[in-house]
Amino acid sequence: MSVAQVCFLGYEDGAIVTGNKIFSVGLLATGKTGEANGIEVGGQQNNLSNIGFNNINCEIGRNEINGVTSDVFARGVKVQQSLNDLSSVVPPPGDYLQPGVPENMNIHSNMIWGISRTNAGASRAGIHLFTDRNGAAGITGLTTARISTYFTRNDQIANNTIMMANDNISNSGGVVGIAVQHGKFTTLMNNAIAMTGTNTTADIAGGYPHSALFYQGLHPKYMGGLVADRNAYWSPNAAAVRFVEVDTISQTLLAGYQDEYQTLAQWRAWTKQDLNSLIGNWTGDYVTSGVAPIQYLRIKTNPSPTGSILNNRGTRIANVTSDVDGQARGSAGQAYDIGADEFNGVSYVNDVEVTTILTPRSYRSGASQVNFADAEHLMVDNTVKVIARLRNNGSISQVVNVVGEYTLENVASSGNSLPSYSSFNGLSNVVVQIAAGESKDVDLGTLNPQSLSQLTGYTTPIWMQKQVDASMRTNVTPRYRIQARITTPDENFGNNSDAMDARFYIRRSNIKMMTN
């Protein structure tokens, strides 16, 4: 349907919004200024009474939303929860906060694309799940909750496809695929998110995010933190994730910056999330059909994609059983496809990938920070275990050779922010049998890093030279590149290796203690 207003829910328990085609929403279609949302669930807080709409146990699934345009904020799906204090109208014994139970929103299998703005200062998002904001202007208003202790709970965002193409609006607001602000126990699974605009599309200097995922909440290592995995990201310019860490009363612990999680490797190292998620340009798997404004975005057929990173790479989810068109997911017990459209893809017969190096692993700062941006910095004993995760994407069981290898940076580049490396040295050669669809962690041996004092001619980048040269050359190493590589030929060479750069701090003392 072509609409001038959004599809709206307020004060609903168990409502279902499924199977809709929503297009031509907002300014360009109606001339109406202000926010535009394909589906709006909750919110609309009254600034005088501080009463707004909330919803629980609702399903927002299998909708296709495109052509949403706004001069303020454009979204495909907006889910805003307002915590209302009704104690003044409730008989004793006293306070009544509503909602008083977990919100349990299920946002799944939605196809969202064509979300755009018309002028500077506006923002846009594919899916936005959040609590009431405090009404302030700018980035402060976006990141400050009205009630600091309220978090929406037990929500699920799964199997959505979100394409955020360039809308040719520069240095304006935030642009994100999925935004989750003040959620506890939120799960983010099987989503396909593509951010194909340039970095000039968002007001990065003003603190606004340009990222596939924008998460404001508890660190995932804590009870109630985000759980994210089996997603497919394509963000050649945007960051993979922008993370604003808060505590349970919304005090900002780490405000973050644009390239803090530019890569999925940074996000994995810091949070241990998205360990089985994928990075790659999957947008070519989709085609658009129909005539504007009534158009549909689906996985192409005749031929179907071969070796798609979306095909059978998701996880099975009990309350997500069908795709955007109502087709059953995971036939014959197969893993789900990633994204909104379940499809009959063509798997390679032989395709084993190195998903990631699991160990050693540490956070690496974004390039904008200089300090600790030259490598992953790790404190270790004299030896370092190397473990990699493999996955068989092929259709049959495979036996493959996996090589663990390393190299030391060249002396001439050791003082530079970017190292250069010579050829690799072998660490191990392991034969692995892996079934179709199986993931397996493989021990690739042990590295014995050498410190600067054991080597000659090496220096360090200028930001750390003074401290290292004063007393730490016996502890600090040059940069190492560690790689896991499959040497057995297969049909997809692009995913046969993964590497990481590390600088080690070697413990020399036999006593593990600290004094001050």
The set of residues, in sequence order, having a beta carbon less than 8 Å from that of 478 and lying 6+ positions away, is 408, 409, 414, 452, 455, 458, 503
pLDDT of amino acid 108: 99
The helix/strand/coil state of 431 is strand
CB 353 within 8 A of CB 395: no
Half-sphere exposure of 447 (CA within 13 A, CB side): 30
**Which residues, in sequence order, are bridge partners of residue 41?**
9, 79
The helix/strand/coil state of 470 is helix
Distance, CA of 181 to chain centre: 14
Nearest to 495 by CA among 345, 392, 369: 392
How sure is the predictor about 1, in pLDDT bands with cuts at 50, 70 and 90?
very low
In angstroms, the CA 103 to CA 359 distance is: 37
Give the mean model confidence (pLDDT) for residues 159-183. Answer: 96
CB 328 within 8 A of CB 334: no
Give the least confident one: 24-33, 100-109, 205-214, 438-447: 24-33
Does the 352-506 domain belong in CATH 2.60.40.10?
A: yes
The set of residues, in sequence order, having a beta carbon less than 8 Å from that of 91 and lying 6+ positions away, is none
Give the mean model confidence (pLDDT) for residues 252-276. Answer: 97
The helix/strand/coil state of 511 is coil
Q: Which residue has the higher pLDDT, 510 or 234?
A: 234
The pLDDT tens digits of the residues spanning 316-349 come to 999 999 999 999 999 989 999 999 999 999 999 9
Q: Residue with structure tokens 């689906």?
A: 298
- How high is the mean pLDDT of the chain? 94
Cis bond before residue 99 (omega within 30° of 0): yes
pLDDT of amino acid 514: 58
The pLDDT tens digits of the residues spanning 94-150 come to 668 899 999 999 999 999 999 999 998 899 999 999 999 998 999 999 999 999 999
The pLDDT tens digits of the residues spanning 419-468 come to 999 999 999 999 999 999 999 999 999 999 999 999 999 999 999 999 99
pLDDT of amino acid 2: 39
In angstroms, the CA 436 to CA 351 distance is: 9
Q: What is the dihedral of CA 303, 307, 309, 313, to 10 degrees?
A: 100
DSSP code at position 334: P
pLDDT of amino acid 52: 94
pLDDT of amino acid 49: 74
The residues spanned by each domain of the chain are 7-279, 352-506
